[in-house]
Amino acid sequence: MINNSNQPNIIAHRVKQGLKRIPNIKNIIAVTSGKGGVGKSTTAFNLALGLANQGLKIGILDADIYGPSLPLLIGATDYKPEVSPNNRFVPLEKFGMKAMSFGFLVDSNQATIWRGAIVNKALEQMLFDTEWGDLDILVIDMPPGTGDIHLTIGQKMPITATIVVTTPQDIALIDVGKSIAMFEKLAIPCLGVVENMALHICSNCGHLEHTFGQGANEKLKQRYQLDLLAQLPLNSLICELSDAGNPLDLHPQLREIYTQLAIQTLGKLSQLPKDYATLIPNIQVVK
C-alpha cells in the first residue's frame, strides 16, 4: 500500500460487481454503526484527518442527512458551498482534506423531513456532483442503522470497504452485528472494528478502567472474523475539541491514537483485491 519513499502510493481496489469506480476517487471507505451515539461521526472525521496527515489526498462526505455532524466537527457551521461553472458543488477545503455535508446546504436549526427517495437522491448528488478532484480515499460518514439509505448507498455507490464503530456493551454489539451482516449481504468487505469509549484513564491517579466492560472485540472477531483496528478512549478532551470544531490531533496522545487507526486502516485496505478493470483500455470495433 505504501512504498518505501516518503510519498504514499495508494492504489485503487475492487468495488462491488456491477458498479464502476468513480474515476478520480481510488477508494471509498464507509464508516458505519449499528446505532447512534457510539461516536461514529467523530471517528470518521478523525480517521479522515489521520489519513490526510499521512500525506494522502482525502475527502470526507457526511451522509447523515437527518443529523449531519461534520459542519460542527470541522468548525464550519456557516460554510455554504459554491457551485462550479459545470453545476457541481465546490467542497470545503480544511485541515488538508475536502469535505461535503448536507449540513452545509440547510439551516442547522431546520429539521429535514424527507422521505427516503428524496434523501437517496440528495446523497447521490453530493457524491457524484461534487468537485472532489483526485482523491486517494473518500471517507463516508454513514447514518446509524440499517435502513433504506444504507441499502441505496450499498447498491448504487462504489464503496471499496466499510469500517464498523461500536462501544463495548453487549446491547451495542447486537446492533453492530446487524450492520456487519447487512454489508456482508451487499458483498462489501469490512476492514475491521473500532471500539470507541473502550477505556478511561483517570487524570488524577492514572488508573485505567474499562468503563463499559471489555471483550467486545473478541466477541466480534469470533462471530464475524473481523480484527480490531483501534480502541479509542473515553476522554473529555474529545468532546471539548470536537464541540469547538478543532481536530483531535491538537492533543499529542489523541493524535497518536488516530494516526495508528489510519495506519491500521491502510494496512487492511492493502489486502483487498486490486481494481484491474480500469487498467483495461476500451476496445473499439472498426466495421
Where is pLDDT greater, at 125 or 198?
Answer: 125
Record the pTM: 0.87
Q: What is the pLDDT of residue 134?
A: 96
196 assigned to some structural domain: yes
**Cα–Cα distances in angstroms (integers) from residue 112 to residues 68, 107, 116, 197, 271, in the given order:** 10, 10, 11, 29, 39
Reported as a pLDDT band with limits 50, 70 and 90, residue 206 is low
Percent of residues, the chain, with pLDDT higher than 70 = 83
Q: Please check whether residue 195 lies inside any domain of the structure.
A: yes
Can you tell me the mean pLDDT for 70-89? 92
The CATH number of whichever domain residue 95 belongs to comes to 3.40.50.300
With pLDDT > 90 as the criterion, what percentage of the chain qualifies?
Answer: 41
Calpha distance 48→37 (Å, rounded): 19
CA 283 to mean position of chain CA atoms? 36
- Does residue 19 lie in a domain region? no
Tens of pLDDT, residues 126-175: 999 999 999 999 999 998 877 778 888 888 899 999 999 988 777 767 77
Instruction: Give the range with max mean pLDDT: 4-13, 142-151, 211-220, 272-281.
Output: 142-151
50 falls within a domain = yes
Residue 107 lies in a domain: yes
| DSSP bridge partners of 141 | 31, 62
Q: Per-residue confidence at 111, pLDDT binned at 50, 70, 90?
A: low
The answer to whether 213 and 197 have CB atoms below 8 angstroms apart is no
pLDDT class of 213 with cuts at 50, 70, 90? low
Retrieve residue 35's grid coordinates: 446505532
- Residue 281, pLDDT score: 52
Give the type of residue at 153. Answer: I
Q: How far is CA 27 from CA 22, 70, 160, 221, 223, in A?
A: 9, 20, 6, 25, 27
Beta strands in 47-114 (DSSP E): 58-62, 92-94, 97-101
Which tops the pLDDT comparison, 229 or 109?
229
Residue 232 lies inside a defined structural domain of this protein: yes
In a domain, 197, yes or no: yes
Domain that holds residue 196: 25-279
Total domains in the chain come to: 1
Inform me whether the pLDDT recorded for 252 exceeds 90: no
122 or 263, higher pLDDT: 263
Reported as a single tens digit per residue, the pLDDT across 48-59 is: 999 999 999 999
The answer to the question of residue 132 being in a domain is yes
Top-confidence residue, 226 or 191 = 191
Q: Taking 60 as the threshold, does the pLDDT of residue 95 lie above it? A: yes
Q: Quote the pLDDT of residue 109.
A: 63
Average pLDDT, rounded, for the chain: 84
